[in-house]
Chain A
Amino acid sequence: MAMTEQGAPTGRPNRPRVFWTMRRRQLLWVWGFLAVPVLFYGVIRFYPTGHAFWLSLTDWDLMSEPSFIGLDNYTRLFADPQFGRVFRNTFAYLIMGTPISLVLSFIIAYALDRVRFGHTFLRALYFLPFITTASAMAWVWRWFYQPAPIGVINDFLSGFGIPQLAFLNSTTWALPSIMVTAIWAGLGFQIIIFMAGLRAIPNTYYEAARIDGLGEWAILRRITLPLLKPTTVFLVVFSSIGFLRIFDQVYNMTTNDPGGPLGSTKPLVLMIYQTAFSSYEMGYAAAQTVVLFTILLVVSLLQLWILRERT
């Protein structure tokens, strides 16, 4: 039909068709849509991230122009006794928090998967903490942990003549006390993901295993856990990042002595916050951020490598 149209040069209608192939046009559309988020992320995410690396090499204090001081912030950081403690705390949250929360949520998900009676209700109950504001929860737990006349747990203990536990007022127990809150808060999400993973395992495998006479324990070890691996990897990485970035619970549960007695609960993120927004040492805070970024990157890559598919 194009050929019959009034005197158009024969080559012309073909040329754009060669250039604007279906694929190219699709790509144009895709990039047209992607450009908005890419630009958005570039401006509000990647540019500031890159800028933080530069700031970490300066002495910017928000007031005056930043001047380049080389690696001074980093040498100061590694010599700072507070950093050592904060580093240990951060890894304590990670090393204890991640396995405990994963084992707990798996056990609960595994059991919940078999419960028929009140299943939806129970699942909602476990999920509830996850949708509650972290700071509100932290304040409720803070009240639970108080010493005798007001603290719920200590009141209960005193009722049985058991001596009080110092919880948040103890340098030993403050961190575990906060970790319990954090684990509890994240549990609902992990349970839901585990349950979705469990549901995704085809029933035929289980039926075949039962016909072959495998016991429950063997089914769990040989079928359920291996097939849950993608879910587990996701949750390990996700929960590790969460624990490495813990802030809300710590900040809200210890506002009158931020970071717990003698800094016993202070994670890296809280140190960054205080350095930046209370001492206004932006350059130093940026250096701490870069260190946190590196830790997050290394830990995540390490986990992905350890839990990789071995073929």
Chain B
Amino acid sequence: MHKGILLAGLMAGISPFTVTAAQAVEIEYWQYVFETRVNAMDQLIEAFEAANPGITVKHVTFPYADYQTRVVAANMARQGPDVLQLFYGWADQFIGGRVIQPLSPEAFPHAQIEEEFFPIVSAMKRGDDYYGLPTAVRSLALFYNKNLMTAAGLDPNTPPTTLEELVTQAKAMAEVDGAGNMVTAGMTLDMGGQDHQWWREVLVRQFGGAPYSEDGATVTYNDEAGAAALKFFTDLQLVEKIGQRGFMDEGQAAFRAGKAGFTVDGTFRLGSFRTIEDFEWGVTELPANAEGLRSNYASYFANAIGASAEGEELEAAEKFLAFISSEEAMKIWLDVVGELPARRSAALTEENLANPVYAPFLKGLEYARTTLFVDEAAQRQNTIDMANRVLIEGQSVEDSLAAAAAAEQAIIDRAKK
């Protein structure tokens, strides 16, 4: 390494030709630390640099907890990255704070984006502009414990396809000891996990409502459909007794420990569940309602171009963004990270659709929705509280729902003002 630098220095001194090499563009790419993501990106950068000799990409990573603050602080100091990764839910803040710039329609034609990517890419669109493109997306599905199903006399190869079947099968698996304590949950109930997404984008729609207006500015779940959806969820504990909030601390922990029959979780949980050795598990699409309506929640980290990139750096950044959102890049990402490709052509291959683990998630992507969060943590907390008021304090479903809707509207209004 040192020798290389020395040699380069010597050559720079001797040869006038190296001047052009010194003018090569260097761009910075930022993302948070997650081992497989960092590895995948290193591979992509290597391939990109090989294909574009004039451009070098500096890969900078930060711990997740600091990431947002670092990006914002760097941006204030005008030291921001040229290309960066961001959660789609941060888009409003990052656009408002001029951290990222719109993608030029010449380099990234809108018609092409809309045709080739899954529809959830629209969550990165504001007005007429797209502000970023995802490499990989995540969706939800229902994980089931095959051993518990067998023990309860169910067929482990026919997991529930409807909400009704979900309840009956979960009931068969739930087990309570003599003192009335839950020993095995038929299903995990954990609003702090993925259940709040399940309730918001799936259950509310399946009971005939919609969680928000199309532009995400108005809360619209405070109606009969929302109440029915909340009642369905809270009744799983209060009436059907197939689950218990707080059982084994977290839903995913209960499932991992083999103490829960079903759990709703996302692609990002696959890495953790793959190390389960004590029992066999399967995964299936989120159950449909009686009319066959399905829904799903998808989310993603998008890559965007930093506001400070201009001139030849902007050109290089556009090339790099195009490369990391290409089909080849998505294949590498799926192999290394295990996250689903964001382009239909890369995702819906025969191989992927035949994969018993990926297929349910991929099917979910076709009809998935993406919530336009303004403050994900606060909005999740609001949904957790809504369920807790019913489950712990015995408040009526309608009152709790109305309070939640008012509080969430206030959060949205404050963010949008």
Contact = CB atoms under 8 A, between A and B. Distances in A.
Given A258-B381, A278-B377, A148 B249 contact: no
Contact of B99 (A63, A143, A171, A277): A63
Nearest to A275: B378
Interface string B176-202: 010111110000001111000000000
Contacts of B393: 171, 262
A149 B183 contact: yes
A63 B246 CA distance: 37
A133 interface: no
B385 A263 contact: yes
Contact of B182 (A62, A148, A274): A148
B219 interface: no
A15 B97 CA distance: 63
B96 A63 contact: yes
Most chain A CB neighbours (cut-off 10 Å) among B244, B249, B388: B249
A148 B179 CA distance: 10
B392 A262 contact: yes
A203 interface: no
B249 A146 contact: yes
Interface string B63-104: 000001100110100000000000000000110111100000
B249 A256 contact: yes
A64 B378 contact: no
A256 B182 contact: no
A170 B394 CA distance: 12
Nearest to B73: A62
Contacts of B250: 256
Given A158-B177, A257-B192, A262-B392, A147 B377 contact: no
B97 A64 contact: yes
A278 B94 CA distance: 14
B246 A149 contact: no
Contacts of A277: 69
A161 B179 contact: yes
Nearest to B183: A149
Contacts of A147: 181-182, 244, 246-248
Interface in B323-376: 375
B231 interface: no
A183 B150 CA distance: 47
Given A163-B180, A262-B393, A149 B378 contact: no
B37 interface: no
A290 B375 CA distance: 24
Contacts of A258: 381
A256 B193 CA distance: 8
Interface residues of B, number: 40
A294 interface: no
A146 B257 CA distance: 15
A170 B392 CA distance: 7
A277 B244 CA distance: 31
Nearest to A169: B246
B248 A149 contact: yes
A274 B377 contact: yes
Contacts of B180: 163
Contacts of A279: 375, 377-378
A62 B70 CA distance: 11
A62 B378 contact: no
Nearest to A162: B179
B59 interface: no
Nearest to A64: B97
A300 B180 CA distance: 48
Given A63-B93, A63-B96, A278-B375, A261 B181 contact: no
Given A62-B72, A62-B97, A63-B96, A171 B392 contact: yes
Nearest to A258: B381
B192 to A, nearest CB: 4
B247 A64 contact: no
A74 B152 CA distance: 57
A149 B393 CA distance: 24
B171 interface: no
A164 B177 CA distance: 12
B384 interface: yes
A168 interface: yes
A37 B190 CA distance: 49
Interface string A254-285: 00111001110000000000100111100000
A261 B392 contact: yes
A150 interface: yes
B110 interface: no
Contacts of B257: 150
B2 to A, nearest CB: 37
Interface in B230-259: 244-250, 257, 259
A261 B177 CA distance: 25
Among B180, B246, B385, residue most surrounded by chain A Cβ atoms (within 10 Å): B246
A148 B259 CA distance: 12
A262 B385 contact: yes
B389 interface: yes
Contacts of A161: 179
A257 B381 CA distance: 7
B199 to A, nearest CB: 15
B65 to A, nearest CB: 8
Interface in A117-159: 142-143, 146-150, 154, 158
Interface string A13-29: 00000000000000000
Given A62-B97, A150-B257, A262-B389, 6 more contacts: A142-B249, A148-B183, A149-B259, A158-B179, A274-B377, A280-B68
4 tightest Cβ-Cβ pairs between the two chains A and B: A63-B97, A148-B181, A256-B192, A169-B246
22 contacts: A62-B72, A63-B72, A63-B96, A63-B99, A64-B96, A146-B248, A147-B246, A148-B179, A149-B248, A150-B257, A154-B181, A158-B177, A164-B179, A164-B181, A169-B392, A256-B193, A257-B192, A257-B381, A257-B384, A258-B381, A278-B375, A278-B378
Interface of B: 68-69, 72-73, 75, 93-94, 96-99, 177, 179-183, 190-193, 244-250, 257, 259, 375, 377-378, 381, 384-385, 388-389, 392-393
